[in-house]
Amino acid sequence: MKKRNEYLAVVVAVLIAIGAGSGVFAWSGLYNIGADSPHWPIVYRFMQTVRARSIHAHARAIAVPNLDDPHLILKGAGQYAAMCTGCHLAPGMATSEIRPGLYPPPPILWQTHVDPRDAFWTIKHGIKMSAMPAWGFSHDDPTIWSMVAFLEKLPGMTPEQYRDIVAKAPPDEDMKMEMEHAAHAHE
Ligand code: HEC
C-alpha cells in the first residue's frame, strides 16, 4: 500500500512538471508560429492525427445524399471555380498567388479523393488554425453537397473537361449577391 502511494506521488509530480514546463514553454514565445517555418515533425504528426481523427469522428454519422445527380455536380462546379481554386487549384492550374504561403498546404483536390462525409464536414465547419474556412456560415447544406458531388468527379479531370463543366455551370448566386451589395454600397 505504501509502495503504491509513493508510485502515485511520483506520477503526479511528473505530470505537474510536464504541465508547468509546457506552460513556461508556451509563455516564453520560443515556438515559431510563423507560417513560413514548418512545425517540428512531432508537432506536425500530432496535429495531423488530431485533425484526421476529429474529422472522422464528427463526420461518421452524416447521411450522404445522391451525389450522381448531374444538376448537383454542375452547381458544385460553379461553386468550386468561384471559391476554392485559389487554394486547392484545378486541372491545368500549377499554382496561385496565395497557395505558396499557406501552411499546412491545402490538398490539391483534382489529384486527391476525399471521402464525401469528411469533405462535407470539413467544407461546412472549416479547420481551426489552418486557412480552411467554415463555408457553412454563408452556404446551406444542399449547396455544400453540390461541392462534394463535384469533388467526387474532379480527381483526374483534364483541363478541357474542367473548363467545359465550369462554363456550363450556373453562376454562383452568393457571389452575385455580394457583388450587388457592393454595387449598392457605391450608389
Ligand atoms: C484560403 C484557402 C482555402 C480556401 C479558399 C478553401 N480551402 Fe479547403 N482547405 C484549405 C486548407 C489549408 C486545408 C487543409 C487544412 C489542414 O490540413 O489542416 C483545406 C482542406 C480541405 C479539404 C480536405 C478535407 C480532408 O478531410 O482532407 C477539403 C475537401 C476542402 N478543403 C474543400 C474546400 C472547398 C470545397 C473549398 C471552396 C468552397 C475550399 N476548400 C476553399 C484551405 C482553403
Whether pTM > 0.85 for this model: the answer is yes
- Cell numbers found for residue 95: 499554382
pLDDT at 10 (0 to 100): 94
Q: Where are the domains of the chain?
A: 1-31, 41-185
Please give the number of the atom of ligand 1 that sits closest to the Cα of 112.
27
pLDDT at 76: 97
User: In angstroms, what is the span from residue 36 Cα to ligand 1's centroid?
Assistant: 19
Indicate whether residue 84 lines ligand 1 (CB < 6 A).
Answer: yes
Closest ligand 1 atom to 86 CA = 5
Q: State the pLDDT at residue 104.
A: 94
Residues of the chain below pLDDT 50: 187
Q: Does 41-185 carry CATH code 1.10.760? A: yes
Task: Answer yes or no: is the C-beta of 51 below 6 A from any ligand 1 atom.
Answer: yes
pLDDT in tens, 126-171: 999 999 999 999 999 999 999 999 999 999 999 999 999 999 998 7
Round to whole Å and give the CA distance between 79 and 69. Answer: 16
